């Protein structure tokens, strides 16, 4: 019967194009607005490395000013980033399964390929462990090893996209690219990897694209690469040279560790506390002991990657959807009461109340599907507008299959809920009443 | 076939109570063709609605085909309407969005017949009323008489044992009315019990028996000559 009901639904909806258009349009607007807000929220709230989220920890050490906390609103928090000295010291620990210190730099890249002009781009100075730590697959080659890091050898890992640009997509391992006018040997080419949000460095644009170029730890120092991200300092100290900058209390390094279980986590927490206690004896870390380890989910939460106004927007858009559905109830009531004589005829000819109910629900479902499609089109247009108007939202304002499915399901479900009252009202009336109206 | 005993039907609003039927008793035998006549507001249509299980009675008992149907639930009433009762209305009551084929198909769909059986029944019913050439026409493309024939075909397709007709010729000119009546007589002759509500005394005389209804009650028996020709005898009538 479902095919029969569907045919009747299409026939019925075509009979009243204006009313059908109004119902579909109303639901479409509600779903479109809701889906646009939900899409941004959904991608903001995404955990891009959920399978490993419980094992990866961001490290925070409270090396901040004794006179005031890092965050006035949340004084319990330690700075998001570490000093160079602390990052280098933590690298000596063998407690974590994997670990990587890192910071963002701006570099100039020169290709050996003819016709490619030198260009400026952002890169990441980091440990060779960075790739295994975050499960980044390689197309060609592999990461550099610790010796390369320590020696500051000029090796580089580039993304698939950068490899296309510099080497036309060929296996470029062993070939040379000039960075900051120095020859760097390509050690590996990564598969496309662009986590949203950019959890490993939310301090410098949580929705920025991942870097396309990665260079070893020692390169930063060798080429005196300053941070192209946030650098925060509190201490009145002389910072004139790069070495002074490295030895300052300025924080600019992100630090991630992989700790497979709770025991290792606790052991590493003890290690951090012990390290800071030692540093206190040297006159550093003037604030109370406050070292924190946050796994990826906790980190995204504590960093408020999903802003409160986005949450409010989702709630408001949901309320707006409710208003649209409320209006749809009225339109459906008009539609179904107008068709009541036909329902009376069907009842007289042997349709049970349940059969008529099912038939009407299929029609409501068809309105829901059409409303969902209209809503998706509207959401797509809205998101295109957001991408155009707000730079940095390119990755956030994208519909994926999950969201498309959610939109259709939400539309059908909400329309069915809205349709229950009109359908029940029509079905509850004795058929003779409607036959008299004929 | 149909036995109503002391049936009453009361419509209530907050301030008004209307007795549409009062102590209404009627017996219709298997194979009979009974005309129900009476002025407007006398309760004829209410009787037809109750007889067709379209409305519930307030008091009394109603047996159809030997079964007490007065207190059945919606599903059972719908099933009986679908399997045993055919309806013919004054205003045809065809569904305007559906063509002739699909209109006749409606009761068969709820009966759960397979597609090929439905098709066969529809074609046979339309052939019986002489409308096979109009099978894909919409009701709006047919004359009044043709529409009523479609309604009759729809009623016949399910092969009901009991046909209820509410002023079946009320919207037709005399020639069309005569042809529809001839069709009903033929159906009755084939064994289907028919109860027909009509204002028209001339048409009523074409039934085996006429029952006069006034103020919601059966007032008097009105046998006439044709009653003798009824295919089944002993059509009882009990005044209320």
Every domain of chain A and the residues it spans: 2-45+307-437, 50-302
Share of chain B above pLDDT 90, in %: 40
pLDDT in tens, B30-59: 999 999 998 888 888 899 999 999 888 899
| Phi, psi of A228, rounded to the nearest 5 degrees | -95, 5
Q: Kindly indicate the confidence band of residue B229, based on its pLDDT and cuts at 50, 70 and 90.
A: very low
Q: How many domains does chain B have?
A: 1
Rounded Cα gap, residues A34 and A371, in angstroms: 13
**Is B236 inside any structural domain?**
no
Instruction: Compare CB distances from B93 to A15, A345, A355 and report the shortest one's residue.
Output: A345
| Phi, psi of A327, rounded to the nearest 5 degrees | -65, -35
Quick check: B107 contacting A, CB < 8 Å?
Answer: yes
Tokens of A142: 């592999």
Tokens of B170: 């009320």
Contact A234, A111 (CB under 8 A): no
CA geometry: angle at A15 spanning A9 and A19, to 5°?
Answer: 90
Residues counted in chain B:
240
Residues counted in chain A:
438
Residues of chain B found within 8 Å of residue A12, distances taken between Cβ atoms? 97
3-class DSSP assignment, residue A111? coil
In eight-state DSSP terms, residue B225 is: G
Rounded Cα gap, residues A35 and A275, in angstroms: 48
Q: How far is B236 from chain A (nearest CA, A)?
A: 27
| CB atoms closer than 10 angstroms to residue A319 | 12
3-class DSSP assignment, residue A235? coil
Consecutive H or E run containing A8: helix A2-15
Rounded Cα gap, residues A370 and A347, in angstroms: 28
Contact A139, A192 (CB under 8 A): no
In eight-state DSSP terms, residue A426 is: H
**Is B7 inside any structural domain?**
yes
CA geometry: angle at A261 spanning A258 and A263, to 5°?
Answer: 115
> What pLDDT is attached to residue A222?
92
In eight-state DSSP terms, residue A225 is: P
Instruction: Compare CB distances from A351 to B94, B110, B158 and report the shortest one's residue.
Output: B110
For range B217-234, the mean pLDDT: 52
Give the residue on B whose Cα is nearest the Cα of A12: B97
Listed residue (B142, B48, B157) closest to B104, CA to CA:
B157
Rounded Cα gap, residues A121 and A215, in angstroms: 13
**Is B234 inside any structural domain?**
no
**Is B235 inside any structural domain?**
no
Task: Using DSSP bridges, classify how beta strands B209-214 and B33-37 pair: parallel, antiparallel or unpaired.
Answer: parallel
Mutation site for A-interface testing, chosen from B40, B41, B91, B95 by largest number of A Cβ within 10 Å:
B95
- Show the beta-strand stretches assigned E in chain B: 2-12, 17-28, 33-37, 59-64, 67-68, 85-88, 162-166, 193-198, 209-214, 217-223
| Phi, psi of B34, rounded to the nearest 5 degrees | -110, 135
In eight-state DSSP terms, residue A51 is: G
| CB atoms closer than 10 angstroms to residue A321 | 24
Cis peptide before B101 (omega within 30 of 0): no
HSE, side-chain direction, 13 A CA sphere, residue B57: 28
- Write out chain A's pLDDT in tens, 438 residues: 889 999 999 998 998 899 999 999 999 999 999 888 888 888 777 788 889 999 999 999 999 999 999 999 999 999 999 999 999 999 999 999 999 999 999 999 998 777 788 999 999 999 999 999 999 999 999 999 989 988 889 999 999 999 999 999 999 999 999 999 999 999 999 999 999 889 999 888 888 899 999 999 999 999 999 999 999 999 999 889 999 999 999 999 999 999 999 999 999 999 999 999 999 999 999 999 999 999 999 999 888 887 778 788 889 999 998 999 889 889 988 888 888 888 889 988 988 888 999 999 999 999 999 999 999 899 888 888 877 776 666 666 677 788 788 888 888 888 888 888 888 888 877 777 777 544
B 60-79 residues inside an 8 A Cβ radius of A: 74-75, 78-79
Contact A111, A176 (CB under 8 A): no
Using a 10 angstrom Cβ sphere, with 0-12 exposed, 13-18 middle and 19 or more buried, the burial of residue A107 is: buried
Residues of chain B found within 8 Å of residue A435, distances taken between Cβ atoms? 49, 54, 89, 93
> What pLDDT is attached to residue B112?
86
Distance of CA B203 to the CA centre of its chain: 15
**Is B103 inside any structural domain?**
yes
pLDDT in tens, B143-201: 888 898 899 899 888 888 899 998 888 777 788 788 888 888 988 998 899 999 988 88
Residues of chain A found within 8 Å of residue B107, distances taken between Cβ atoms? 349-350
Listed in sequence order, the residues at least 6 apart from A405 whose beta carbon sits closer than 8 Å to its beta carbon are none
CATH label of the domain that carries residue B108: 3.40.50.300
Q: What is the largest CA-CA distance in chain B?
A: 53
> What pLDDT is attached to residue A394?
66
Listed in sequence order, the residues at least 6 apart from A55 whose beta carbon sits closer than 8 Å to its beta carbon are A97, A258, A259, A260, A295
- Give me the domain span that covers residue B177: 2-229
Give the residue on B whose Cα is nearest the Cα of A1: B109
Interface predicted TM-score (ipTM): 0.85
Rounded Cα gap, residues B93 and A346, in angstroms: 10
Task: Using DSSP bridges, classify how beta strands B33-37 and B193-198 pair: parallel, antiparallel or unpaired.
Answer: parallel
Tokens of A412: 């059908």
Contact A185, A174 (CB under 8 A): yes
**Is B240 inside any structural domain?**
no
> What pLDDT is attached to residue A184?
95
> What pLDDT is attached to residue B36?
92
> What pLDDT is attached to residue B73?
86
Q: How far is A26 from chain B (nearest CA, A)?
A: 25
Which has the higher per-residue pLDDT, B209 or B169? B209
Using a 10 angstrom Cβ sphere, with 0-12 exposed, 13-18 middle and 19 or more buried, the burial of residue B62 is: buried
pTM: 0.67
């Amino acid at each position: 019967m479902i095919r029969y009901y569907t045919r009747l639904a299409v026939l019925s909806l075509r009979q009243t194009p204006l009313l059908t258009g109004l119902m579909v349009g109303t639901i479409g607007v509600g779903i479109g607005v809701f889906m646009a807000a939900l899409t941004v929220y959904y991608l903001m709230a995404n955990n891009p490395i959920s399978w490993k989220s419980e094992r990866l920890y961001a490290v925070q050490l409270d090396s901040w000013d004794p006179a005031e906390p890092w965050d006035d609103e949340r004084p319990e928090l330690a700075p998001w980033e570490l000093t160079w000295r602390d990052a280098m010291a933590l690298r000596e620990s063998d407690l974590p399964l994997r670990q990587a210190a890192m910071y963002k730099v701006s570099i100039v890249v020169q290709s050996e390929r003819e016709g490619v002009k030198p260009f400026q781009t952002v890169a990441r100075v980091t440990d060779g462990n960075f790739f295994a730590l975050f499960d980044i697959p390689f197309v060609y080659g592999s990461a550099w090893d610790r010796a390369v890091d320590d020696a500051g050898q000029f090796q580089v890992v580039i993304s698939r996209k950068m490899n296309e640009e510099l080497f036309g997509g060929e296996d470029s391992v062993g070939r040379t690219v000039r960075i900051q006018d120095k020859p760097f040997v390509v050690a590996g080419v990564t598969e496309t990897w662009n986590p949203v949000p950019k959890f490993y460095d939310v301090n410098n644009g949580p929705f920025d694209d991942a870097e396309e170029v990665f260079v070893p730890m020692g390169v930063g120092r060798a080429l005196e690469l300053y941070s192209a991200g946030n650098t925060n300092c509190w201490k009145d100290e002389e910072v004139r040279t790069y070495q002074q900058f490295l030895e300052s209390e300025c924080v600019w390094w992100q630090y991630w560790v992989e700790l497979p279980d709770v025991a290792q986590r606790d052991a590493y927490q003890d290690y951090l506390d012990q390290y800071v206690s030692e540093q206190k004896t040297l006159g550093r870390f003037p604030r109370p002991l406050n070292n924190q380890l946050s796994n990826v989910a906790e980190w995204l939460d504590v960093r408020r990657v999903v802003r409160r106004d986005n949450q409010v927007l989702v709630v408001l858009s949901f309320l707006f959807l409710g208003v649209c559905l409320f209006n749809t109830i009225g339109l459906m009531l008009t539609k179904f009461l107008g068709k009541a004589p036909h329902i009376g005829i069907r009842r007289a000819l042997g349709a049970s109340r349940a059969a008529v109910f099912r038939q009407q629900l299929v029609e409501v479902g068809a309105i829901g599907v059409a409303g969902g499609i209209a809503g998706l089109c509207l959401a797509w247009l809205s998101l295109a507008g957001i991408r155009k108007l707000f730079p940095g939202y390119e990755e956030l304002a994208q519909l994926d299959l999950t969201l498309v499915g959610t939109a259709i399901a939400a539309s059908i479900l909400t329309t069915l809920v809205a349709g229950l009252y009109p359908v029940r009202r029509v079905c509850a009336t004795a058929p003779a009443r409607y036959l008299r109206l004929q | 076939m149909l036995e109503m005993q002391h049936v009453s039907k009361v419509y209530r609003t907050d301030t008004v109570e209307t007795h549409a039927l009062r102590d209404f008793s009627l017996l219709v035998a298997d194979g009979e063709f009974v005309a129900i006549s009476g002025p407007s507001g006398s309760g004829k249509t209410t009787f037809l609605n109750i007889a067709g299980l379209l409305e519930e009675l307030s008091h009394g008992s109603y047996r159809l085909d030997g079964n007490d149907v007065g207190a059945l639930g919606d599903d059972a009433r719908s099933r009986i309407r679908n399997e045993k009762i055919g309806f013919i209305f004054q205003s045809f009551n065809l569904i305007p969005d559906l063509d002739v084929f699909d209109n006749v198909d409606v009761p068969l769909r709820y009966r759960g017949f397979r597609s090929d059986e439905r098709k066969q029944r529809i074609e046979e019913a339309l052939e019986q009323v002489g409308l096979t050439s109009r099978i894909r026409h919409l009701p709006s493309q047919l004359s009044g008489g043709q529409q009523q024939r479609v309604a009759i075909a729809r009623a016949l397709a399910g092969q009901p044992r009991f046909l209820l007709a509410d002023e079946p010729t009320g919207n037709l000119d005399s020639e069309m009315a005569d042809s529809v009546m001839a069709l009903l007589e033929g159906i009755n002759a084939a064994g289907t019990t028919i109860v027909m509500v009509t204002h028209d005394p001339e048409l009523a005389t074409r039934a085996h028996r006429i029952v006069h209804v006034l103020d919601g009650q059966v007032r008097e028996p009105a046998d006439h000559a044709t009653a003798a020709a009824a295919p089944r005898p002993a059509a009882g009538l009990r005044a209320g």
